[in-house]
Structures are given as structure tokens and as C-alpha cells.
Amino acid sequence: MTITPIQVDTVIRNIGQLVTVAQQPLPQASGSLQVISNAAVAAYNGKITWIGSDREAEQFFRDAAINQGQDITIIDAGGVVVTPGLVDSHTHLLFAGDRAEEFHLRRNGVSYAELLRQGRGILTTMHATRNTSPEALTELALARLATMRAYGTTTAEVKTGYGLDFASEERCLQIINALASSQAPGSLRIVPTFLGAHSLPPEYKERREAYVDLVVDQMLPSFVGLARFCDVYCEREAFTFEECRRILTRARELGYQLKIHADQLSPSGGTRLAAELGAISADHLDHASDADLDALREAGVVATLLPGCSYTLRTPYPSARRLLDRGLTVALATDFNPGTSYSENMQTMLELAMSAMGMTLEEALAAGTLHGARALGLQNEIGSIEVDKRCELALWSIRDYHEIGYHFGVNLIQSILLA
């Protein structure tokens, strides 16, 4: 039999279950997640070049090594489960300080909205972030990224939104971009998002329109190329429907892709606006109406659910089943931030989605990988294990992927691999 030569520099062998989440049917794969037992994966320059059964691998790659005249790195997976790396498509990880006091105030009955009215919440983090050096902010971010990596995340979106003035937002974007361009081996892929419309800064308390002007006329044009996305917090405690429409319309004109914090605390119209403007994702959706969700589906917008917020705020979990049954593409993310979801752990989000939001294991895994990639517009590059995609893999310390969610409260990730 003639074997078509392929380029290979890394082979992962002895994979007990390869959970590919592939978009197209694969030979020897079964189930909705396209699982291959006793599998192997090959990569070259960080891209997957071959997927198949382990028994086919040895002769195949011996021939490849001879043809290429170079050594191939062989990695023994030890019979464990391998999935795509987890994709965290909504985080606020660049910040200083903490809000532990607020967490306990909420436990004693003070609402999140009341904390915002008191000038706490996001503004507490704003003050701490403005007063922290770029070097210290970078070190904090690196530590959090290392934690994300340890729990299986290989790609993370990172938002600004704790500077809320021109200089501080620019500084945060420069830090995020420096982290994104790091050449350190095994570095996570980072996707930058500009969230200048996160909260009204105190110096603009009586001048809302002036701050929106600042975002639209100065920040957005100046930050082109520093952020892939523009996001807004469409909420009565933050920015109005019309303010968000103005900001996002200008962002779209300048070439940003769009995201929206939509209908989290109240029916603010954010979901409808996401559909109207063709956002990549609408996130939260706790108070979205059926009509809004239908519009979201028709516009092809990814619905991103953030169960860590419901856990922290002790609010009802939005039903993933409701969204899935309406035909929406649903992603899961941590919303890692110091106020309402202080967790870098995507495994926890999968567990909460299964236990409290009506998702099956298969739906949750797809939501935390391929659909998270869709929420970043990267579904053709990452999120599933397929030829020509980036080799971003999570190796789990389990032999059957059904242990995910079943064995909870512990870290089931053995390592990640970014070939």
C-alpha cells in the first residue's frame, strides 16, 4: 500500500481515548464527540497532520522519519484520555486587588447592584488596577494564566475594563499583547478584548455622554490592532442599550469583532443588540427572552454561559437546555474576575453546567472546547482535534472521559500539550 508522505515532528501515542470533538466524521471514531480508542496523533510545527489508531502509528512514522531524515519526538500518553485543550472565551484576568469583602457582604444580603451604587464592585478593582505598576500586573496575570493552564485551558480571551481611562486601558492592552506574543514554550494562546464600556468611572459620574464620547472618538480608533474584539456591558447599572449600540457600531466600522455582556442582571436588550449587530458572542443571557434567543440563533451568534457568576451571586442558573433546545450554539467560560466569578478553573464550569444547567457531558465538553473557539471566531484553528488545526491538547489523568463531572472537586488534568 502506498502511504502519502506527511510532515511530522511530534507523535503522541498510546492514547486510551482520543475525544476529538471533530466537526467532520473520522474513521474509527464513534459518538457525538467522535471518540477514537487506542489512538495516536501526529503534528508538525504545531499543527496536526495525522490522526489514527495507535497500531498504525509505528510503521507509519518510522517511514516518515526516514523520508524526512530527522528525528521525531515520541510522547507516550500512557493510555489516558486526550481532548482538545479547553477554550476559555470570557475572562477578566488582568486586574489588581481582590473583592473578598464584597463576596461576604453579598452573603449577608447586599446585592451586586447595591454594591455598584455604593461605588464598589468594578470600581474597587479599577482603583487597584490604576495604582499597580505594569510589571506587577504582568506578574499577577502570569500566575493566573499558569493556573488556567494547570486546569487544562490552552486558549483564553482576556479583557481590559479595569482601567476606564485612556492611559490605563492602553496600558492594559499593551500588557495583554505582550503576554499574547510571548514565545515561552507551552504558553497559552491569548485573545485580547477591549472593554472600555465596563463601568462608568467616577470622574465621569455626572458626564455619561462625555465618557461614551471618549470611548468612541479616542479609545476605539487608537486601540485598533491591539484588540481583536470590542465588548460592552449592556446593563442598567453600566451602559444603556443605545450607548452600547453607538460604541459597537463604531467598533465594527473600525474592524473590531463584537462581543456583548447581555441581559445578566436584568432584561437590558443586550441579546437583541448582539443579534442586530452580528456579534460573535452574547454572554450571560440570564434574562434573555425567547424572542431574543431566536434572533440570536438566526444571526448565528454564539450564546456563552458563565455558571461561575450564578454560583458566586447565588442567582438562578440560566438553563443551557433552553438554549440548546432552541438550536443555539452554546459555549461555556469562566468569566474569571475578582468580583463575581473568582475561578480560573474551566473544569468547574463543565461540572456546574452538567449539575445545574441541564447539559450532558458531551454538550459540556463541546461547549468548553469547539464552541468556546467559535465564540472567539477561531473554530477553524482550535477547539477540536482535526488535521490542519493547532495541536492544543489536554491530557487527563483518567481512562474514560465519562469521569469528567463524575469525579468532581479535583484537578483531573495531567498536562497540556501545545506542540
Tens-place pLDDT, residues 203-218: 999 999 999 999 999 9
**Residue 256's pLDDT is what?**
98
Amino acid in the structure at residue 339 = G
So what's the pLDDT on residue 117?
Answer: 75
Q: In this predicted model, what pLDDT tens digit does every residue of 292-304 receive, in sequence order?
A: 999 999 999 999 9
At 319-340, the pLDDT tens digits run 999 999 999 999 999 999 999 9
Secondary-structure class of domain 10-85+385-418 per CATH:
mainly beta
Cβ-in-10-Å burial (0-12, 13-18, 19+) of 330 comes to: buried
Q: What angle is formed at CA 304 by the lines to CA 293 and CA 400, rounded to 5 degrees?
A: 120
Asked whether the domain spanning 86-374 has the same topology as the one spanning 10-85+385-418, the reply is no
Lowest mean pLDDT among 59-73, 137-151, 243-257, 289-303: 59-73
pLDDT digits (tens, 9 = 90+) for 245-274: 999 999 999 999 999 999 999 999 999 999
**Which residues, at least 6 apart from 147, have a Cβ–Cβ distance to it below 8 Å?**
344, 345
Cell numbers given for 181:
506574543
Please report, for residues 67, 127, 248, 286, the alpha-carbon distance to residue 304 in angstroms, rounded to integers and kept in the order given: 46, 28, 18, 11
Give strand pairing partners of 88: 156
Q: At residue 151, what are phi and psi to the nearest 5 degrees?
A: -95, 10
pLDDT confidence of residue 178:
96
Q: pLDDT (tens digit, 9 = 90+) per residue, 22-56?
A: 999 998 899 999 999 999 999 999 999 999 999 98
Joined grid coordinates for residue 394: 489536554
Instruction: Indicate the pLDDT class of residue 2, thresholds 50, 70 and 90.
Output: very low
Query: Which of the residue ranges 50-64, 277-291, 348-362, 395-409 would you say has the lowest mean pLDDT?
Result: 50-64
Residues 6+ apart with CB under 8 A from 88: 148, 153, 155, 156, 157, 333, 334, 336, 346, 372
Give the pLDDT score at 75: 94
| CA distances, 168 to each of 179, 196, 261 (Å) | 17, 10, 21
Q: Which residue has the cell 482520543?
A: 18
Residue 203 C-beta-side C-alpha neighbours within 13 Å: 8
pTM: 0.95
Q: Where are the domains of the chain?
A: 10-85+385-418, 86-374
CA dihedral 196, 197, 198, 200 (to 10 degrees): 100
Considering the domain 86-374 in this protein, what is its CATH number?
Answer: 3.20.20.140
In Å, the largest CA–CA distance within the chain is 76
Query: What does the pLDDT read at residue 1?
Result: 38
pLDDT of residue 3: 52
Stretch 388-400: mean pLDDT: 97
